[in-house]
Amino acid sequence: MQETDMYDVLRLILQRLEHESIVWRMDGSANVRIQGMDVAVQRLHVRTNDEGVRVFKKIFKQYLKDEGENVLFTIDGIDVEVSSNRYNMLHRVKMAHWRGIDVPILPLQEARDFYVAAGKEKVAASLDAYLHKRFS
């Protein structure tokens, strides 16, 4: 996905959720891309709680593609997967200023810790290398 496409969809999400009082954050490759890591983004992954999923379904109903364990929307050709589970780490959400918008993210160190706990050593190692390079 092109960064401009990611930006356009995130801006739309932020605008539509502006007056909603839910907690949500980016996840996966989009989360680390927003924080400066050069990774490919295939779809936008959003983590929230059950109330957040309900709000996303209500506000973005015209984009709804699939309602399984995760809810999948296609917004302007970009897949957006919204999920709620016990690993949402919403208590760790921070805002990142990216391309002129403020996006809720999971900071890289916490994302790395999650990937270690989830047994995704390759992803954690990539984050370790990036964090070491960025802060040394």
- Tokens for 135, please give them: 């802060």
How much is the pLDDT for 54? 96
Q: Is 6 within 8 Å of 30 (Cβ atoms)?
A: yes
What pTM was estimated for this model as a whole? 0.92
How much is the pLDDT for 136? 77
How much is the pLDDT for 104? 98
Q: Is 45 within 8 Å of 28 (Cβ atoms)?
A: yes
State how far Cα 65 lies from the chain centre: 18
- Write the CB contacts of 5 (distance below 8 Å, at least 6 apart in sequence): 76, 77, 78
Element (H, E) at 18: none
Ranges of each domain in the chain: 3-107
- Write the CB contacts of 79 (distance below 8 Å, at least 6 apart in sequence): 42, 43, 44, 65, 72, 73
Torsion of CA 87, 88, 89, 95, to 10 degrees: 150
| Choices 3.40.50.980, 3.30.460.40, 1.20.1600.10, 3.40.190.10: CATH for 3-107 | 3.30.460.40
Alpha carbon distance 1, 60 (integer Å) = 20
For the chain, 136 residues long, give each residue's pLDDT as a single digit of tens: 999 999 999 999 999 999 999 999 999 999 999 999 999 999 999 999 999 999 999 999 999 999 988 999 999 999 999 999 777 889 999 999 999 999 999 999 999 998 998 899 999 999 999 999 888 7
